[in-house]
Each structure stands twice: as structure tokens, then as C-alpha cells.
Amino acid sequence: MKKEKNIKSTHIDEHSVDNGNKVMTTNDGVPISDNNNTLKAGNRGPSLQQDHIYFDKLMHFDRERIPERVVHARGSAAHGIFETTADLSKYTTAKFLKKGTKTPVFTRFSTVAGFKGSTDLARDVRGFSVKFYTEEGNYDLVGNNIPVFFIQDAMNFPDLVHAVKPEPNNEMPQAASAHNTFWDFISLIPEAAHMTMWVMSDRAIPRSLRMMEGFGVHTFKFLNKEGKATFVKFHWKPRLGVHSVAWNEAQKISGFDADFHRRDLWEAIENDDYPQWDLGVQLVPEEDEMKFSFDLLDPTKIIPEELVPVKIIGTMTLNRNPENFFAETEQAAFDPGRLVPGIDVTDDPLLQGRIFSYMDTQNYRLGGPNFHELPINRPINGKHNNQKDGFARLDIPKGEVSYFPNSKAEGCPYHAMLKGETGFQSHQQKIEAHKVRERSDSFADHFTQARLFFDSQSPEEKEHIISALSFELSKVDDVDIRRRELAILHQIDSDLAKKVGNNLGLTPPKELDKLTLKFARQNHPDYPIKPKKPEIKKSEALSMKVKPGEGTISTRKVAFLVDDGVSKSSVDKMKKAIEREGAKAVLIASHVGTMKFKEGDTEEIDHSYLTDASVLYDAFYTPGGDSVKKLADNPDYIQFLNEGYRHCKAIAFAKDSEDLIQKTLINKDEGVILESNNNLTRDFINAMKSHRIWEREKPRKVPS
Ligand code: HDE
């Protein structure tokens, strides 16, 4: 993996503060003599009002919090570089997309529904925001890990968010869509059907932020030097493949380590295992806008990769953790309206609505209009305009001129056009229209792509979707809502609806509910409208199973289940083999501290069956030695293995483990590697490469 550190700082280093060997001061730089005691009248007397040092400290403390993001409140981020590897000059003038250009980036991943302190492993969409600090200003690609959205028009966004967030009367449940109000809303708007399928799939419970795709979601436009537009969809493809955990596992991880994804990202970067994604684009010539069975402006639709292939144009490498979470990750202001010359928005009504909200939210959250001057948000090429004043202004503009046109500052700062540069240009699209509040009937096909997604999944993935829908709808206590959603599912796939219905004790209605139809007809008076014939019925790219990623085990965490008396050679042989492939071995024993090997050597152990949990690891190995007998009597060890098996992970045993296996609920299969029957290291690594042995779930013996 590439080990190049970030190429150009984003003004952040200039602002970083080093307290090393410095005297403690007040905010005005006055040295402090005592940071333990307030000023009192006598050492047992009342505090004095003149204690400006205490007031200085508490005034700041009382204002430490700023409003969290209304959505995407919980997130983690990293710095990195983006390198363009393709020639795009035919399509866009964007300078950072010139082949060979390296651009610093800051990338923030997030969940949507939970509060800032909620768990990482919620079933949810993940935000995937990238700020490119280009030579022509900041470009933000503010996307998600799911390529479509629930709604088509920005007007419905606050309602969607209110429905999914904890309910207003009792503020429950936290970071979960499995409740009445979410499904009430979703079951009334059939346009949500496609995204609902994605959110109920394993995409919504990623194994790692480093193992998920990213999508720009909307169709955007590239503009070339002639001003010609090309429609473009953006895709981030992770080098480590696309992987998820099991739902049962996700719920347990939330308890054992609510920071699981944040920690994983942080540790990978600290270990120089830099996460990488390739950026891909789907390009559609302007004249082909109407060529498809779906509308390119509808954010509930993808362009199947079979129709327009994804062309890889560059690579992003995240290689530096933030120094300070608040100053960088929390204060980062992403906005789909941060565009650079050569990239423009389309008329997608959701995208159009986003252009207002982000700037507005940042004005509020970051305390005024000068948030651009915060180090994390500053463009590297500097900003020059006549805007002035406002809360927390950091820049000190020189001179008497703050207007344009002017003669006193020789017309500066000048329009790009005045000196032969083009500057930012909007696409000169012709518009001839009436002002209406309406929805285009080309947005009215709500089920074809939901079906395409479901039909493209492997049998195991389909089972997971059925289980997720059954879980969520079981938590809905209003039978009318359950029935309404079942009617929507029936439109997608009757077998899917039947199976979910069985778990709810309901027969799915064949027709959409009267209320659903009523709301759909508010947008489309003639609803349902006969959809156009789809171009394809299956798309391989939509299945995580069909897309095995790189088949790598790089950075995977393997638990070595040991105890005093374990054979060092048995440990070392496996350790060497998996480390060669980039995986990490973590020794777990019945106690932390010094552990004795059979051969007499010792090792310091940081993890025990008490402090760690099976769900935090990707695979398990039980080395040989005298430890094997001890482990057979250790219920925590047996639980580790049973859970690992339940979650379909690769499990390997050194020789003489037969009696021990008898004590577990493990049934031998291709993911259970025995030194006595297999090529231990090779077969274990291959089993790990397949990520999970999902087939194991069917004849499952281990309870939830
Ligand atoms: Fe957002 N969204 N959104 N959104 N969104 C915000 O902006 C909004 C939408 C997305 O890492 C907010 O700074 C509206 C789609 C991400 O800091 C807010 C609409 C997609 C992030 C906002 C949408 C997204 C946000 C809250 C419908 C995927 C986190 C805090 C018109 C393409 C950015 C903030 C970060 C954050 C509004 C729909 C992605 C309130 C009005 C579609 C990744 O402005």
C-alpha cells in the first residue's frame, strides 16, 4: 500500500498549537500560577467575585458545545490525497481532474439518524463526504454509501428526518429506523421503495468504513471548455472490497464497542494501512438524457453499470488522522454547492434543495458567516472578495476598499473574466417552463429498480433483507402500518412480501393501501402509471456477494485464542502466514498481563475473554499446546467460538482440538479449518478471503 503522507496542509498546521514546554496562560496569555484553587477570602472562606482567572476558564467551558448536525451528527474523518489517473479534458475543465494532479482531501463518514454520541453500527445509510482542496477552490462531493435516496423532492426532507429520528414525545429509539413513525412515513410514500431495499440490505451495516462504496447519488454535470455538458454519476470503490457484518453481530458490537468504525479507521491510519478508494464516473452525453427507462434527474434511480460502465478516474488515499476532533471533524462544513469550474449541478429537485440547506445549517451551527475561515474549511488558494465583518471574523482584510467596482483598489479583487480566465460558469441550459409545484410523471415508477436490486442479490443477501424487514416491522406496533408496507413489498416481489408477512403473521395485500395511493396521487394524479420497460432485470454490480472485492485479508483482525501453556511455534506459524497477507493477530487469553508459552517464553497480553468479544474480530484461530485442555473448560472461550461460528466467520484449529470442538456448537464446513484435515494456514487465509460463510446460516444451531 502507498505510504505517501498528505501533500499540502490545508492551513491547519499553521493553526496547530503545541503546549510542550509552555507555561499555562489565560486566554489573554497571562501566566497562571495556580490552576487548582479559586480565589477565596481565607482558605475556608467564600470565593471572590474578582477571580477573573476562574471566570475566564468557566466562561469558555460553559460554551464548549455547538449544535450537532441535524442529520449525520455522528461521524469520523481523515485527511488524504486524491490523484487523478485519467484524462478527462474532453468532458471537464476542472483542474483537479487533470491527469496526474494530486489534491489534498478531507473525508468524513457518518451515520444519519443517530445523535453525535450514538453507536457506529446502527442500521443506517452512511454519509461519505469528501472535500477536495483544489487550486480553484474547494469542491465537496457530499455523498452516501447507498446510491439512491428515500425521497425525490427537497420539500419532504424535514419530514423524512423527523420520521426516522427518535420520536418527539419520548425521544426513543436512538439511532434506529425500527419504529412506528419511520415506517408510517415510508409506507405512505412509494418513492422510498428502492432506497428501503438498500437500507434493509447488509449495505446498512458495513464491516468497516474502509469497506464500503460511496456514491454522489444525484446526477451531476461535467462542463468542458466549449461549455458542453456531460451527465455524470460518481462512485467510490473501496480497494478492500465491500463487506458487511451480520445484523445480530451489529447489535452486539454496538454494546461492546460503540466506536467500532471510528476506531477501525483511526487505527488503520495510525498503522499506516491507508484506506484507499478508486473514484469512478458514469458518463452520459447530454443528448442521451431521455434515452433511459428512468429519469436521470430522479435521485431514487441508479444507472445500472451494465448500461453505462463505471470509468475509474483516480484514487483517494486517507493517510492522516485529524489532530483535533472538534477543530477538524466537527467544524468541517460540507456543502454540495461548493462546486469548481467544470462541475455543475443538474435540475434534480433534491439536489437543488440541498444547495440551500448546507450553507444555512453551517451558518447556524458554526455561529455565523465566517465558517469558511476556520482552518478546516479554508480553500488552499485563498479567498478574495469584499465580504466583511460578522461573528468571529478571522481574516484581517487590508485597506479602505470593500466594494466592487472600485477604482481605489484598481478594481481588485477582479472578475475572472476580466483577465481572460473563465471562473465558475453555470451550464447555459435552455429553460422554457411554467412555474409550477409539481412532480414529473417520469419520476412515478417506484418499483422497477427496487425489484432490480432485490433480484440482483444472492440467496443469502435476500434472506438478510427479509430478516431485516421482519425485524424492523416487528418493532412497529401499528398493524395498519405493517400491512401498508407489506403491500409495497408485494409490488416489488410477492415472495419477499409473503416471507416478511409470515414473520408478522399477516397476508400481504395485493393492492397498495388506499392511504399510500392517496399520497402518491398528490404528486401523480393518474398514479399508478405504467412504467417503461426496463433495460435489464439483473445487475451483478448490486450484489456484495457477486462482487468479492479484492479477495484480500489485509488489515483483518484475527483473534488467537490462547492461554498459559500455548505452543509458541503453533502461534508463530499462523501469525507469520496471516501477517504476510496484511492481517493482524491479536492474542486473547483468560487473563491480561504475562502469559507463559509451553516452550517457556512469555508474552504480555492486552486482551482477555472478559474485556473483548467475538464480534470485534474477523476470524479465530486456536493454536495447539497445553492451553487447549484449559480452554475446553472455559465457557467464555466456547462463547467466543460459538458466536464467531454464528456470524459465519472463518475458524481454524491446530491439531488435537477434536474434543474441544465437541464442546462447541460448531458443525464442520468449508469455513472450519482443521490442521489435521487441511493445509492449515493456506485454507484459513482462503476462508477469510471469502469474508463470511453465509451459507452456514441456514442450518443454524447457535441461537441469537
Ligand atoms: Fe444531507 N444534510 N440533505 N444528504 N447530508 C446534511 O448539512 C439535506 C441528502 C449528506 O459529513 C446537513 O452540514 C437536505 C442526500 C451527508 O458533515 C443538512 C437534503 C445525501 C451529510 C443536510 C439532504 C445527503 C449531510 C446536516 C434533501 C446523499 C453530512 C449538517 C434535499 C447524496 C456532511 C450539514 C458531513 C448533512 C440537508 C439529502 C448526504 C441539514 C435538505 C440525498 C453525507 O444541511
* Catalytic residue chosen out of the listed positions 6, 72, 235, 446: 72
More confident residue, 589 or 677: 589
CA of 144, closest atom in ligand 1: 28
pLDDT of residue 698: 79
Query: In angstroms, rounded to a whole number, what is the distance separating the alpha carbons of residues 228 and 346?
Result: 13
If you search the block for the grid coordinates 445480530, which residue do you land on?
248
704 pLDDT tier (thresholds 50, 70, 90): low
pLDDT of residue 265: 98
Q: DSSP letters along 224-292, please?
A: -TT--EEEEEEEEEETT---B--HHHHHHHHHH-TTHHHHHHHHHHHTT---EEEEEEEEEEGGGTT-S
Mutate which of 144, 354, 355, 372 for ligand 1? The one with the most ligand atoms within 8 Å of its CB, which is 354
Residue 549 scores a pLDDT above 80: no
Calculate how far, in angstroms, residue 179's C-alpha sits from the geometric centre of ligand 1: 22
Q: Where are the alpha helices (DSSP H) in 336-458?
A: 349-365, 448-455
Calculate how far, in angstroms, residue 71's C-alpha sits from the geometric centre of ligand 1: 7
419 pLDDT tier (thresholds 50, 70, 90): confident
Mean per-residue pLDDT over the chain, rounded: 95
The answer to whether 38 and 47 are in contact (CB under 8 A) is yes
The answer to whether 165 and 113 are in contact (CB under 8 A) is yes
Calculate how far, in angstroms, residue 664's C-alpha sits from the geometric centre of ligand 1: 46
CA of 357, closest atom in ligand 1: 44
Q: DSSP letters along 321-351, please?
A: --S-IIIIIIT----TT---TTEEE---HHH
Query: In angstroms, rounded to a whole number, what is the distance separating the alpha carbons of residues 671 and 668?
Result: 8
Query: In angstroms, rounded to a whole number, what is the distance separating the alpha carbons of residues 523 and 585?
Result: 56
For residue 80, give the 3-state DSSP assignment. strand
Cell of 618: 474477523
Output the CA angle 586-589-591, nearest 5 degrees.
125
CA of 360, closest atom in ligand 1: 44
Residue nearest to atom 8 of ligand 1 (CA): 354
Calculate how far, in angstroms, residue 358's C-alpha sits from the geometric centre of ligand 1: 7
CA of 109, closest atom in ligand 1: 11
pLDDT of residue 240: 94
Cα-based distances in Å from 416 to 91, 92, 132, 419: 21, 18, 21, 6
The answer to whether residue 72 is catalytic is yes
395 pLDDT tier (thresholds 50, 70, 90): very high
- For 276, phi then psi, to 5°, come to -135, 145
Residue nearest to atom 27 of ligand 1 (CA): 154
The answer to whether residue 144 is catalytic is yes
Residue nearest to atom 28 of ligand 1 (CA): 143
Give the other-Cβ count within 10 Å of 286's Cβ.
13
For residue 593, give the 3-state DSSP assignment. strand
The answer to whether 586 and 557 are in contact (CB under 8 A) is yes
Domains of the chain: 384-424 (no CATH), 557-700 (3.40.50.880)
CA 606 to chain CA centroid, Å, is 29
In the chain, pLDDT over 90 holds for what percent of residues? 93
608, burial (CB in 10 Å: exposed 0-12, middle 13-18, buried 19+): middle
Strands (E), 112-240: 126-134, 137-144, 214-215, 220-223, 229-238
- List pocket residues of ligand 1, CB cut-off 6 Å: 69-72, 75, 108, 110, 127, 129, 142-144, 149, 154, 157, 217, 299, 332, 334, 350, 353-354, 357-358, 361-362
Calculate how far, in angstroms, residue 112's C-alpha sits from the geometric centre of ligand 1: 9
**pTM for the predicted model, two decimal places:** 0.97
pLDDT of residue 296: 98
> What does the pLDDT look like over 120-146, one tens digit per residue?
999 999 999 999 999 999 999 999 999
* Catalytic residue chosen out of the listed positions 6, 138, 144, 145: 144
1 pLDDT tier (thresholds 50, 70, 90): very low
CA of 351, closest atom in ligand 1: 31
pLDDT of residue 2: 46
Mutate which of 145, 146, 334, 371 for ligand 1? The one with the most ligand atoms within 8 Å of its CB, which is 334
> What does the pLDDT look like over 623-672, one tens digit per residue?
999 999 999 999 999 999 999 999 999 999 999 899 999 999 999 999 99
548 pLDDT tier (thresholds 50, 70, 90): low
